[in-house]
Chains A and B, each alone.
Chain A
Amino acid sequence: MTQVQAGVSQGRRVALTGNEAVALAMKQVEPDVVAAYPITPQTDIVQYFSSFVADGQVRTEFMTVESEHSALSACVGASAAGARCMTATSANGLALMWEVLYIAAGLRLPIVMAVVNRALSGPINIHCDHSDSMGARDSGWIQLYSEDAQEAYDNLLQAVRIAEHPEVLLPVMVCLDGFIISHSLENLEVLPDEQVRAFVGTYRPDVWLLDAARPVTMGPLDLQDFYFEHKRQEAEAMARAVPVIEEVAAEFGRATGRRYGFFEAYRMDDAEVAVLALNSTAGTARYVVDRLRRRGVRAGLLKLRVFRPFPQRALADALEGLAALAVMDRAEGLSTAGGPVFVEVRSALYDRARRPLTMNHIYGLGGRDVGPDQIEKVFDDLLQAVECGEVRRPVSHLGVRE
């Protein structure tokens, strides 16, 4: 999708799987510490990275640990000590990190983690949906979503800069779809090592545990008199991440020609109906939008890249002019009120005098494939709602057998 401009680094065109692209980005960043535990479909990332370490291609301290709880705990300790840290996980591995996710964010440690999206058990399943990262949406981590291997690579590099920015200092998850992206080979453009090193720079924490000249305590008991103030700081950091994400994307765009924002609005200018999707489904939806446009349907796509912080105002600006919007959630949420993305997008539109009819399609759970015809069915639902002037089924399950 991205157009390479003249005068920017062309990098190198290579064929890589999503996991290889993430592992390569990690290699080029060469963090001080990687602590990780294998879990499908993320395993490749850790496996490739461990071979970079074994072959002496990186000087990273690679910690093999006994669980994901330990993996993230080790990152918390190493990050507090002053190291640049990374890890990667999926599904139940992320679930096992749960309490440490909040600790990493609460202690304001800029850890970067690739999350290869996979359905949470049970029933046990190893394929793609977003129940893992959506469940972690309130843990204080910034969340970037990636349509393809290129975006996973680009997001991972930007994540380092966002996380470590002095105004932010929050951990970042870079999400990509399990198997669909993690194990599919595609062409992408990777940057020269020197350019990555120049872009991410050297991590220089202002306060770090191994600074013997200035001993500090991190993670002390924080009771009624101060915990609330620290959460208020964390909320502020998340708000301050908004301009930082934009600045980092702008700098990345200048260096590579690949432009990123909080979301991509595709053929939205005159759109009457649109779908909103994250990750790989956006690619399929873009194809469907083009197909419908050829038939005269004013269809559009909004691909959300940043879910945390949630770009409430900008999203409402982009969506308020539609007649009808379908939000596609690859996580059930089980609230009976719709999936997590739907609830927040609809809430973003509440204050607008002009707002579209909205509906939610829950789809693709446990790796259930979603093809162009199904997305076209979503547009059919939208066109029907526009014709009737109402949404008959606000929340529906797309592609499930009755």
Chain B
Amino acid sequence: MKGKPGWKDIPRGGMILEAGNAATYHTGDWRSQRPVWDPEACTHCLFCWIYCPDSAVRVVEGRMTGIDLDYCKGCGICVNQCPKAGALKMVPEDTAAAG
């Protein structure tokens, strides 16, 4: 809790005074595992994009380009529904971070 402002320096009653600040709140830090994408194996069927509950699959011009780790909570739905073995797999966060 150190480094955060004290009670005298925060808005009253939990108010958030800055509009649109959700963009700076990265829910991806909840993650214990992350999906790792293999561009070589991917067929760009975009099932992962359709199913992702957090819109964390990045698609550019109809093609999968990777996972937005700022918002991916590591639920694994993308990996679960991916029809191409090996195109997406779940890896523990510490392993992935080390790798």
User: B-contacting residues of A (Cβ < 8 Å)?
Assistant: 106-108, 169, 207, 214-220, 222, 224-227, 229-230, 232-234, 236
Contacts and interface: CB of A to CB of B under 8 A. Distances in A.
Interface of B: 1, 4-7, 10-17, 19
Nearest to B1: A225
Given A107-B14, A218-B14, A232 B7 contact: yes
Nearest to B19: A215
A236 B13 contact: no
15 contacts: A107-B13, A107-B14, A207-B15, A215-B19, A216-B15, A218-B14, A218-B16, A222-B14, A224-B1, A226-B4, A229-B7, A230-B10, A232-B7, A233-B7, A236-B7
Given A216-B19, A225-B1, A106 B13 contact: yes
A218 B13 contact: yes
Given A218-B15, A230-B7, A234-B13, 4 more contacts: A216-B17, A225-B1, A226-B4, A230-B10
What is the predominant secondary structure among interface residues of chain A facing chain B?
Answer: loop
Tell me which of B11, B15, B19 has the highest count of chain A C-beta atoms within 10 A of its own C-beta.
Answer: B15
Nearest to A215: B19
B14 A220 contact: yes
B13 A233 contact: yes
A226 B15 contact: no
A229 B6 contact: yes
B16 A233 contact: no
Given A225-B4, A226-B4, A233 B19 contact: no
Given A169-B12, A225-B1, A233-B12, A207 B7 contact: no
Contacts of A207: 11-12, 15, 17
Contacts of B1: 224-225
A219 B12 CA distance: 11
Nearest to B12: A108
A227 to B, nearest CB: 8
Most chain A CB neighbours (cut-off 10 Å) among B4, B7, B16: B7
Closest 8 CB pairs of A and B: A108-B13, A217-B16, A229-B7, A232-B7, A215-B19, A222-B14, A107-B13, A108-B12
Contacts of B16: 216-218, 220
B13 A217 contact: no
Contacts of B19: 214-216
A347 to B, nearest CB: 25
A286 B5 CA distance: 51
Interface centre among B1, B11, B12, B13 (most CB of A within 10 A): B13
A232 B7 CA distance: 7
Given A215-B19, A236-B7, A226 B14 contact: yes
B26 to A, nearest CB: 15
Contacts of B11: 207
B89 to A, nearest CB: 32
A141 to B, nearest CB: 14
Contacts of A224: 1
Contacts of B7: 229-230, 232-233, 236
Contacts of A233: 7, 10, 12-13
Contact of B13 (A214, A215, A230): A230
